[in-house]
Amino acid sequence: MFEDKVVLVTGGTGSIGSEIVRCILKENPKVVRIYSRDESKQFYMQHELKEFDNIRYLIGDIRDKERLSYAAENVDYIFNAAALKHVPSCEYNPMEAIKTNVLGVQNIIEVAIQHNVKKVIAISTDKVVNPMNTMGATKLLSEKLISAANQYKGSRDTIFSCVRFGNVMGSRGSVIPLFKSQISRGESVTLTHRDMTRFMMSIPQAAELVLKAARFSRGGEVFVLKMPTLKISDLAVGLIRSFEKKCGSKYNGGLIEVGIRPGEKLYEELMTADEAERAYQNDDMYVIASPFNQLSSEYNGFIRVDHREYSSLNAPQLTLEDIEELLVKYQLGF
């Protein structure tokens, strides 16, 4: 799909964006343009991927429409992984969240239409479902913008779709690096709530879903990976066991609850009951069709889903042994 094509990845130095870049490079693209505002991450990425001569590193912010437009010239595909994504920081800085998560996405849509980009795939989050925080609300609005862009574009051919993620294990700012740091220093692991559950996926799984979405997308859909859930407290225990196995000594800290942060939920949701009415599934994912354009015949290999919501309360939950295996598989333990 990407052979000899020009691909723009916004937020391309982040955990998900950089993995998308690595996957696309395997398909011999003409050029991959990595667009981000963090020159330090770009510096390290240039050293990691120094054998590739078809990468361009572009400093810029999706808030800056003019800069974004220059970056999108002659582009075939855009993957938008740029966002303000941490719940507490968005709660404290809501106007900044709007500038990036809403106005930045509007810029991407308008620039893509301007340059007749083939497809735009935007990264979303489980926090858009019944949002109770600023981050979820702004990302929900960005999803609505992406879906509606398929009508807004007029006669242009650009296709716009979203991919909805759960938590990504080991990504920057995720709970695993925090827990590992606390365990390494012998401190108690801080939990917001012992019964808190989350959808979990690995960084490679996240990137794979994005590329599958790019292949399947017909316009306005939201793609959701079928993910297991886990208790955050079990994840902490799994990391403690990993530490003890590596060091051969007993961890002397404990688990302490510090309380749920502003805007945080006890459990997450990936699909509402209303969305399930127009959703399809295969073994790997759900496709929530656009309310404007439900092209069910286009999703080969997919069947209609049962009418039910999809939350971390009713999804399959990983056992502690499962979690330990995942930590080893994706090299996320000690």
Tell me the catalytic residues.
127
Work out the angle at residue 6's Cα, subtended by the Cα atoms of residues 32 and 105, and round it to the nearest 5 degrees.
80
DSSP class of residue 26 equals T
d(CA 320, CA 168): 18
d(CA 109, CA 115): 10
The enclosing H or E element of 3 equals: none
**Chain mean position to CA 107:** 19
Work out the angle at residue 39's Cα, subtended by the Cα atoms of residues 32 and 95, and round it to the nearest 5 degrees.
100
Residue among 260, 197, 257, 227 at smallest CA distance from 326 = 227
DSSP class of residue 311 equals E
